Amino acid sequence: MSAIRHIAVIDIGKTNAKVALVDLETLSEVALRRTKNAPLRQAPYPHHDVESLWTFILNSLATLNREQRIDAISITTHGATGALVDASGELVLPVLDYEFDGPDRLAADYDAIQPPFAETGTPRLPMGLNLGAQFFWQQKRFPAAFGKAATMLMYPQYWALRLSGTAANEVTSLGCHTDLWNPWNADFSSLVDRLDWRGLMAPVRPAKDRLGPILPALAARTGLDPQTPVFCGLHDSNASLLPHLLSDAPPFSVVSTGTWVVSMAVGGKSVTLDPERDTLVNVNALGAPVPSARFMGGREFSVLTEGRSEDWTEDDVAHVLARGTLLLPSTQQGSGPFPHHAAGWLNAEGMTNGQRFVAISFYLALMTAVCLDLIGADGPVIVEGPFARNRLFTRMLTAATTRSVIASEASTGTSIGAALLASDRPTAQGKSERTEPPADPAWVDYVRSWRTAVDTSKI
């Protein structure tokens, strides 16, 4: 094949699935296909509709390739998800939806064997947010089916297996609050050996490894060159982080926004992470531990704005700042820095839709600033994903952090990062917009009022 330039990135988010065509010369998305990603609420438990996603992926590859020759395929997905496959690569159990609470029914049994936070950097999370708890529940609940498993795969590598026929695992997904990985030793955790799962784990390979060419039948189905390489892939928040690891000098932090808002600090201050506040240790694509914190900000945004106008004016901003209209955490409870706080409004009587949207955007920025504080973030804050296009969010984030905020103009930061797995060249960042802390003291007063209200609210 000729030099790799156009990368088809399969990007499976919790809410939406995308296939983006990324031009490595310009570090931009030149085409995009998107679909909703909703789990199937049916037996044997809520699970991902992988066959519908597979049809979408293949159709998108075929369509994009007709418009512009695809030179390679890379993959990125949400975390807390894995697959159990047999020797032929077929699923032995459906891919469990991490928002299913079934694993909680074995919480006491799992708590007794979960490795300590100091070993894995993984906090104890509800539902299936600890992938180890998912696999543990599946093994106990469906022992016969589990016994047919030949391989445990992280979710990006499940799709890589279907595309290339090669089974692998990779550290960014293994290190995403799974309980399965020790980031300090760069090896599987004690849980894996305690449950005798090491023999099931596919070999760990770097995110940028070529697993092989696309399978011949898929090349015929999509029209791709049969030698089109499939790269190993990585976790989506770490895909957002990768371009900055390659180009930026620490200290800096990256905020990856989607269903989850994940903050990651590189070269920040030394802090002790608090697992009770949804801080954790991620592992970046270069294999290094990264202090991280998160909350379900994209889901909160969708819930809070559903069916309402998102139009706003500077008069709405001035009104919210002057009146001190505050949204307090947490709309989505059970995770984030305030997992047990009940959401509430202050000074919100009679607010318009525009004012409501301003206050929601401010709330999301203030929650992000708390996450950044918890992980010792320092230097500029780089925002990737949908929230980068929300000027209210970026302006309040500068006020709350008193640092520069750089908003990426790429529609999906994860796609650019995943595409870079196919590049061996040093990379420069794409277009971005820098915002500095506001001079108006009303913004600082608003931040102080919100923090005071949160501190004094009932937990």
- 3-state SS, 385-400, equals CHHHHCHHHHHHHHHH
pLDDT tier at 85 (50, 70, 90 boundaries)? Answer: very high
Q: Is it true that the peptide bond before 46 is cis, omega within 30 degrees of 0? A: no
Cα torsion through 260, 289, 170, 15, rounded to 10 = 0
Q: What pLDDT is recorded for position 362? A: 98
Q: DSSP states of 108-155 as a string?
A: HHHHTTPPPHHHH-----STT-SHHHHHHHHHHH-HHHHTT--EEEEH
The answer to whether 174 and 127 are in contact (CB under 8 A) is no
- 3-state SS, 45-99, equals CCECCHHHHHHHHHHHHHHHHHHCCCCEEEEEECCCCEEEECCCCCECCCCECCC
Tokens 């490795």 sit on residue: 115
Cα angle at 366 between 363 and 369, to 5 degrees? 155
Domain with CATH 3.30.420.40 in the chain: 6-232, 240-456
What is the CATH code for 6-232?
3.30.420.40
Is the CATH number of domain 240-456 3.30.420.40? Answer: yes
Task: Give pLDDT tens digits for 17-35.
Answer: 999 999 999 889 999 999 9
Separation between Cα atoms, residue 237 and residue 83, nearest integer Å: 20
Lowest mean pLDDT of 144-148, 261-265, 413-417, 426-430, name the range: 426-430
Q: Is the pLDDT of residue 427 over 80?
A: no
Tokens 């992980």 sit on residue: 375
Q: Is the pLDDT of residue 166 over 60?
A: yes
434-439 average pLDDT score: 92
Separation between Cα atoms, residue 4 and residue 161, nearest integer Å: 21
pTM for the model stands at: 0.87
Q: Is the pLDDT of residue 410 over 80?
A: no
Cα angle at 124 between 329 and 240, to 5 degrees? 70
- Residues composing the chain: 459
Q: What pLDDT is recorded for position 11? A: 97
For residue 62, give both structure tokens.
């075929």
Cα angle at 124 between 120 and 126, to 5 degrees? 140
* Average pLDDT for the chain: 95
SS3 percent helix, strand, coil of the chain, rounded to 5, is 40, 20, 40
Amino acid at 88: S
pLDDT tier at 231 (50, 70, 90 boundaries)? Answer: very high
**325 φ/ψ angles, rounded to the nearest 5 degrees:** -75, 115
Separation between Cα atoms, residue 130 and residue 327, nearest integer Å: 29
Amino acid at 91: L
For residue 111, give both structure tokens.
């708590």
Q: How many Cα atoms sit within 13 Å of 213 on the Cβ side?
A: 12
More confident residue, 108 or 334: 108
Task: Give pLDDT tens digits for 93-110.
Answer: 999 999 999 999 999 999
